Amino acid sequence: MSRIAYVNGQYVPHKDAAIHVEDRGYQFADGVYEVCEVWKDNIVDMPRHLDRLGRSLSELRIGWPMARKALEFVLAETVRRNKVHNGMVYVQVTRGVSRRDHFFPPQDVAPSIVVTARASSPAAAEKQAEAGISVVSFPENRWPRVDIKTVALLPNVLAKQHAKEAGGKEAWYVDADGNVTEGGSTNAWIVTRDNKLVTRPAESGILKGITRAAVLDLAKKEGLSFEERAFSLEEAYGAREAFVTAASTLVMPVVKIDDTVIGNGHPGMVATRLRQLFHTVTDLKAV
């Protein structure tokens, strides 16, 4: 089936989808993005994703490319046109097209917007979750504003490639104090020996994940005890369980960190249960 992308007001075949060479996203990584899960013909947690998009835009002083309601429609329409039943929808907004110059372009330059949607296999994801993934630690080397979901992902690309070449699926950033911040494209969690869920506070050092927020809601609903606090790589090595969260992976058990096997080397009970119950706490918008 041919894929369709939405580019600056038009739905176009994927092969013709293009952005100008002087788009500031291309030249300066001057843009932001969101990824929403598509689950059984629903866009998951779209309100939270669009709230975060609005925050990212406002932190960078980029305008909304269209009214929020219109954007909700475009996301759903892109999912529909691509016949994606399970997968994800991606939206990217940049500061627009202008002659290359570091300074912001004139006020009348409109932001650029691209929306794409892609199917993925729930069966393949479940298989991965049943096996669990390995993560590889990596020194934190990103700018301090990782709370903004910008397209400037070069450090994440390099960290994740390092992890892949070392046999892992994800990189875990470790800061100067020896604490895990987050993954290259996921938030990081552990379950302590006394069964407490722990994830780093979202005030600084991490992206405030939408999946993370849903898992915190789920932990409350299920009466699980949890703590938002920093945890060290050493503590993670000795944890009962570990897992990562993101819209693209949901709750994904971690069974190995560097050379250390976590727990009994199999996905933990807490992570598995959180994965099973995940969609009971999410907002679902039918496409």
* Residue nearer to ligand PLP on the CB measure, 98 or 282: 282
The CB-of-229 to ligand PLP minimum distance in angstroms stands at 17
The CB-of-125 to ligand PLP minimum distance in angstroms stands at 14
Decide if residue 210 touches ligand PLP (CB under 6 A): yes
Whether residue 75 contacts residue 43, with contact meaning beta carbons closer than 8 Å, is answered with yes
- Interface with ligand PLP in residues 7-46 (CB under 6 A): 35
Decide if residue 281 touches ligand PLP (CB under 6 A): no
Decide if residue 160 touches ligand PLP (CB under 6 A): no
Q: Say if strands 42-44 and 31-39 run parallel, antiparallel, or are unpaired.
A: antiparallel
Helix ranges (DSSP H) in 29-108: 46-60, 68-81
The helix/strand count (H/E) of the chain reads as 8, 16
Decide if residue 53 touches ligand PLP (CB under 6 A): no
* Residue nearer to ligand PLP on the CB measure, 71 or 97: 71
Binds ligand PLP (CB under 6 A): choice among 42, 134, 137, 245? 245
Cα separation of 76 and 255, whole Å? 35
By CB atoms closer than 10 A (0-12, 13-18, 19+), residue 108 is exposed
Candidates 245, 244, 269, 241; CA nearest to 255 is 241
Instruction: Write out the catalytic residue numbers.
Output: 149
Cα separation of 211 and 217, whole Å? 10
Interaction pattern, residues 69-108, with ligand PLP; x per rule: CB under 6 A: ----------------------------------------
* Residue nearer to ligand PLP on the CB measure, 29 or 35: 35
Interaction site with ligand PLP (CB under 6 A): 35, 182, 185-187, 207, 209-212, 245-247
